[in-house]
Amino acid sequence: MTAPHTLTLAEAAALIAARRLSPVELLEDCLSRIAAVEPRLNAIIALLAEPARTAARDAEAEIAKAGPRSPLHGIPVGLKDIIDLAGIATTCHSKLQIDRIATEDAAVVTRLRAAGAIFPAKLATHEFAIGGPAFDLPFPPARNPWNLAHHPGGSSSGSGAAIAARYFPAALGTDTGGSVRHPASHCGIVGLKATYGLVSRRGVFPLAFTLDHVGPMTRTVRDNAMLLNAMAGHDAADPGSAAAPAEDYTRLLNAGLQGLRIGFVRHFHETDQPAIPEVAAALEAAAKLMAAEGAILSNITLPPLGEFAAVNRTILLPEATAIHEPWLRDRPGDYAAVTRRRLLPGMFTTGTDYVQAQRRRRELVALVEAAFGEVDLLLTASSMEPACRIDDPAEVERTYPRQARTPFNVTGHPAISVMCGVQASTGLPIGLQLVAPSFAEARLFAAAAGYERAAPWAAMAPGL
């Protein structure tokens, strides 16, 4: 059999259900993979090997007696370390939280635990999900498994790196301005920001209350849909939670692209934030492949990227300051320099600025909704260039905002990043983004899976 740590979630689940693989065997092989690679990758903040082994043995016994509860029963899932796991520190990759022990599971962990998932590790993030790769923190920054000299994207950096490096089949990240889709794009995996409110944020350290999402990160589109099945659901204790009806997000995975009307937002990467030629060429090739698979492509125009970015920034910063103000006043030196620099402008954003940004946000939502009156999905760039070196702060600052993910945090629409190419000079992945109307995740997965099947990229892996 293929080494268990290389299996996708769907493959591992099928073997566990057929009694050809045990959760204990899967976990032990994943732990061996981590031991071999982790000293170079820095994706893990806390390895929870013994609690995970106990959970794997319990899962094995339960499955032997009654069969799996769900496809996630016995599957290891990593957690970005702003997500609470009862009895374990939620450090947020920061001195300020290093000793805070979670007293209960986050809502999404509760749902995954009920499905039988196992949690072997808390994963690196950028500090409080707003910093960048920083070397003045208690833990080193995660690195990109495709090229260890480069950063993996953020802020769900450890989650993206761990999945690409085959530590386990699935992980959770969070996304406030693109932080699931950024590492998905840079690490060549699949990352989803679902519709705002579809997944509870209770028990997740907040960055910006009206922009935060929790998202699944996997190696394939099918795995992503399977993970979302267990994650999604209304939570009355999360004020932003949506009372959406339950559904099976895998139900359209084989439907393909035939007949789907896809609006290509070319101006995002052609004029608003010009992409490097290799990224532009990869996007054009992906559009042609989608058309060859039966999609109907047309150009669509939205407001410029800069307008979405300004609205996102003017909302995010004061919302973040509302959380961090006591520490910024009393313990500013305990933040990494990059985190402090990113948070401080929120202290000077006026109430008028915030209200006007929220007003413009509603108008932007309406404009994107109008676009979905003409097309079924949108196709855009994710990042405008692959990951830069991790040890070049100026390049990190320059490239970090060169992306088209933020618009859909502003509007709340579901968006997914999948791999669509490789930069020849560095061997680093290139990603595209597909976007759907609110609560149309099943349609989004159908298109992404159709592209994934037709393209060669899903079979590629970093050479660690």
Structural domain contains residue 260: yes
CATH number at residue 24: 3.90.1300.10
Is 416 strand, coil or helix? strand
**pLDDT, tens only, 282-341:** 999 999 999 999 999 999 999 999 999 999 999 999 999 999 999 999 999 999 999 999
Could you tell me the residue range of the domain that residue 55 belongs to? 8-459
* Rounded (to 5) percent helix, strand, coil in the chain: 45, 15, 40
Which residues are identified as catalytic? Answer: 80, 155, 179
Structural domain contains residue 1: no
Structural domain contains residue 44: yes
Residue 357: predicted pLDDT = 98
**How many Cβ atoms sit within 10 Å of the Cβ of residue 36?**
12
Residue 377: predicted pLDDT = 98
**pLDDT, tens only, 362-372:** 999 999 999 99
**pLDDT, tens only, 403-420:** 999 999 999 999 999 999
Please give the full DSSP string across 116-171, using - where no structure is assigned: T-B--EEE--SGGGTS-S-SSSSSPPP-BTTBTTB---SSSHHHHHHHHTTSSSEE
Structural domain contains residue 425: yes
Give the pLDDT mean for 342-347: 95
Domain count, the chain: 1
Structural domain contains residue 464: no
Asked whether 10 and 250 are in contact (CB, 8 A), the reply is no
Asked whether 379 and 263 are in contact (CB, 8 A), the reply is yes
Structural domain contains residue 374: yes
Structural domain contains residue 2: no
pLDDT at 2 over 90: no
Cα–Cα nearest to 3, from 206, 159, 166: 166
Structural domain contains residue 21: yes
Give the pLDDT mean for 376-385: 98
Cα–Cα nearest to 224, from 9, 433, 23: 9
Residue 464: predicted pLDDT = 86
**pLDDT, tens only, 26-58:** 999 999 999 999 999 999 999 999 999 999 999
* Termini Cα distance of the chain: 20
pLDDT tier for residue 1 given thresholds of 50, 70 and 90: low
Query: 72, exposed or middle or buried, with CB in 10 Å at 0-12, 13-18, 19+?
Result: buried
The pTM for the full model equals 0.97
pLDDT at 422 over 70: yes
